[in-house]
Chain A
Amino acid sequence: MTRQQSQQLAIWVITAVSAIVVIPILIVILYMLYNGISTISWEFISQPPRNGMTEGGIFPALLGTIFLTLGTAVAAIPLGVGAAIYLAEYAGDNRLTRAIRLAIVNLAGIPSIVYGLFGLGMFVLFLNYGTSILAGSLTLGLMTLPVIISTAEEAILSVPQEFRIVSLSLGATRWQTIRNQVLPHALPGIITGVILGLGRAAGETAPILFTVAAFYLPNLPKSIFDQSMALPYHLYVIATQVPGMPLGIQYGTALILLFIVLSLTLVATLIRSTMRRRREW
């Protein structure tokens, strides 16, 4: 085999293998779409499950996931953006900073089920919030922190250094500079990170298993101290725990969950790319 032939072969193999990675993703999405689309109706989205969950819709689970995602945002955004500002603008090159960075890497690496255990131990039992939207949101919020911190830090660092120097030279304080010259320009990147993080949180099951999720609830939650159904857990329940569950409802539920999470991911990606194009500098 000549060099040229081996070059050809290598390129061909690499391209084929990349296709092996990409095609199954398409298959999963199309499979859910194909099997689930016929179940989707206004009734499916707006009605509670009926008759041992074998009929009706997914409304309480959908609403629960929306509440949990909002709760996650409230819990994670201030802490995450604050930590990102600290790392990008304040932290010196010292042991504390290295400890913080190590902690963030590890927060990102802790298995989601371990977050679930922690949420159970700390929020449900120790702080006595019980199995509740509050406990679930806080657990998901902590899990989302590393995503928000690293994308927000990236966005803050991408603001040109000249803006900071000019702002300081005009007599602005450090915080005024961050507030007026850094954060506004980093905002699209920060929003991207927040939405990406929330998308992950919305689809997570393991952290909410013991902190908020209910198998079935006849009533909608009334406060953040109530339990709630949630879409990912609902999918788990109807797929594995309810005998005689019609497949259509399972596919429909999976499709809705996939749609929510992927549209959040897509929105995040779109914001990032349009804002990159609109920059003046």
Chain B
Amino acid sequence: MKEQAMTPAKISVKNTTFTYGDGTQALKNINLDIRPNELFVLFGPSRSGKTTLMRLMNRLSDLIDDTTREGEILFNGQDVFGRRTDITDLRRRVSMVFAIPTPLPGSIYDNMTYGLRMAGIRDKAVIDERVERGLQQAAIWDEVKDRLDSSAFALSGGQKQRLCLARSLALEPEVILLDNPTSGLDPISTATVERSLYELKQTYTIIMVPHSVQQAARVADRAAFMLNGELVEVGTQQELFLNPHDKRTEDYITGRFG
């Protein structure tokens, strides 16, 4: 791809429009570059297209029937919707953690190893090492290391959420998509997750939909404000939260609507 040399972006969204079967335009001509090792926050009112945009990046959007897409999304310079894209490989490299923590039925260990097993990794030593590192990076290792064989459903809400994060990290992805990872968590668990985000971005590129504007301002390196499927404004944390250019952004972060 000829853009490869010009764009240092990890993920590059170009002229992307996405329409559902009922005619709703979820995304309207989005252009966005995400740089390596940044924590990029997508914020805005609900139904503004944040989750849809994230799901396009690893093609979980394929699961929705009757949609139309225009434009390109490049991951490391490669079109993720290209004919030659290995979707399973893409989803391992661009890994999604969902808003509602959803462990798979089975033990904590089963959950941690699922993606690795599906990728065909058989070596027990490699698997165990990845399991431990993933759990440590998600700051849940100390809580579960003695009960890896117990059911993942027995964990608390915050623990489930961190397990789901750890499960993605075990795949050693390049980009982590976090869709409201602290929804339904108490302030202490939220702080734990936010602290680990700071560690994680040393290794990974993180794209996150925050729980609130406050959280967005706390954790973001750069951020984008979305409204009704449009990308209103992109900027660094300083620019966007202290000195927004667009009236709509200012209204939103000062709490005048949404």
A adjacent to B, CB under 8 Å: yes
The interface residues of chain A lying within 8 Å CB-to-CB of B98 are 162, 165-166, 169
Stretch at the interface among B2-10, B33-41, B85-93, B233-241: B85-93
In angstroms, Cα B102 to Cα A145, docked, is: 35
* Distance between Cα atoms of A164 and B91 in the complex (Å): 14
- A106-114, A148-156, A171-179, A267-275 - the one binding chain B: A171-179
* Stretch of B24-32, B57-65, B183-191 contacting A (4+ beta carbons < 8 Å): B57-65
Question: Which of A170, A173, A281 contacts B95 (CB under 8 A)?
Answer: A170
Q: Which residues of B are found within 8 Å of A165, using beta-carbon distances?
A: 60, 63, 98, 102
Within 8 A of B (CB), among A172-198: 172-173, 176, 180-181, 185
CA distance A166 to B114 in the complex (A): 10
Among A162, A167, A168, A169, the most chain B Cβ lie within 10 Å of the Cβ of A169
Instruction: Using A169-B95, A171-B171 as known contacts, list a sample of 16 further A-B pairs with CB atoms less than 8 Å apart, ordered by residue number in A.
Output: A162-B100, A163-B105, A164-B63, A165-B98, A167-B118, A168-B91, A169-B58, A170-B95, A170-B118, A171-B88, A171-B91, A171-B95, A173-B88, A173-B118, A180-B114, A281-B105
From A166, A167, A181, A280, residue with most partner B Cβ within 10 Å? A166
Tell whether, in the assembled complex, residue B115 and residue A170 are in contact, meaning their CB atoms are under 8 Å apart.
yes
Cα A162 to Cα B153 in complex, Å, equals 14
Known: A168-B63, A169-B60. A185 touches B105 (CB 8 A): yes
Write out, one digit per residue, whether chain B residues 142-162 have a CB within 8 A of any chain A CB (1) or not (0): 000000000101000000000
**B104 and A181 contact, CB distance less than 8 A:** yes
Cβ–Cβ contact A163 & B60, under 8 A? no
List the 5 closest pairs (A to B, CB-CB), nearest first. A170-B115, A171-B92, A172-B118, A162-B102, A171-B88
Chain B 202-227 per-residue mask, 1 if CB under 8 angstroms from chain A, else 0: 00000000000000000000000000
B130 within 8 A of A: no
- Complex contacts, A176 vs chain B, CB 8 Å: 118
Rounded to whole angstroms, the CA-CA distance of A176 and B88 in the bound complex is 11
Contacts A165-B60, A180-B118: A170 and B105 contacting too (C-beta < 8 A)? no
- The reply to whether A170 and B102 form a contact with Cβ atoms under 8 Å apart is no
Q: CB-nearest residue of chain B relative to A184? A: B105
Q: Is the CB of A167 within 8 A of B63?
A: no
27 A-B pairs with C-beta separation under 8 A: A163-B104, A165-B60, A165-B98, A166-B102, A166-B104, A166-B164, A167-B114, A168-B60, A169-B58, A169-B60, A169-B91, A170-B92, A170-B118, A170-B171, A171-B92, A171-B118, A172-B88, A172-B118, A173-B88, A173-B118, A180-B114, A180-B118, A181-B104, A280-B105, A280-B151, A280-B153, A281-B105
A163-B102, A163-B105, A281-B153 are known contacts. Are A170 and B63 too (CB-CB below 8 A)? no
**Distance of A276 from chain B, by nearest CB (Å):** 15
A172 with B153: CB separation less than 8 A? no
B151 touches A170 (CB 8 A): no
Residues of chain A within 8 A (CB-CB) of B89 are 171
Q: How large is the interface on A (under 10, 10 to 19, 20 to 34, 35 or more residues)?
A: 20 to 34
The verdict on B242 contacting chain A, using a C-beta distance below 8 Å, is no
Task: State whether the Cβ of A52 lies closer than 8 Å to any Cβ in chain B.
Answer: no
| CA distance in complex: A168, B91 (Å) | 8
Nearest CB of chain B from residue A185's CB, rounded to whole Å: 7
Distance in angstroms between the alpha carbons of A122 and B105 in the assembled complex: 46
Shortest CB–CB separation between residue B254 and chain A, in angstroms?
35
Q: How far is the CA of A163 from the CA of B111 in the complex (A)?
A: 11
B50 within 8 A of A: no
Interfacial residues of chain B within 43-67, with CB under 8 A of chain A in the complex: 58, 60, 63, 65
Enumerate B76-107 residues with CB–CB distance to A below 8 Å: 88-89, 91-92, 95-96, 98, 100, 102, 104-105
Q: Is the beta-carbon distance between B114 and A170 smaller than 8 angstroms?
A: yes
> Does B12 sit at the interface, judged by CB under 8 A?
no
Contact B65 A170 (CB under 8 A): no
Q: Which residues of B contact A93 (CB under 8 A)?
A: 65
Q: What chain A residues lie within 8 Å of B95 (beta carbons)?
A: 169-171
Assembled-state Cα–Cα distance A93/B64 (Å): 13
* Residues of chain A within 8 A of B119, CB atoms compared: 171
Question: In this assembly, does A82 line the interface, its C-beta being within 8 Å of a C-beta of chain B?
Answer: no
Tell yes or no: A78 within 8 A of B by CB. Answer: no
- Could you tell me the distance between the alpha carbons of A162 and B96 in the complex, rounded to whole angstroms? 13
Task: Give Cα A93–Cα B171 distance, bound, in whole angstroms.
Answer: 34
Q: Is A246 positioned at the interface, with any CB of B under 8 Å from its CB?
A: no
Residue A121, interface by CB 8 Å: no
B153 near A169 (CB under 8 angstroms)? no
Residues of B within 8 A of A167 (CB): 104, 114, 118
B104 / chain A contacts, CB cutoff of 8 Å: 163, 166-167, 181
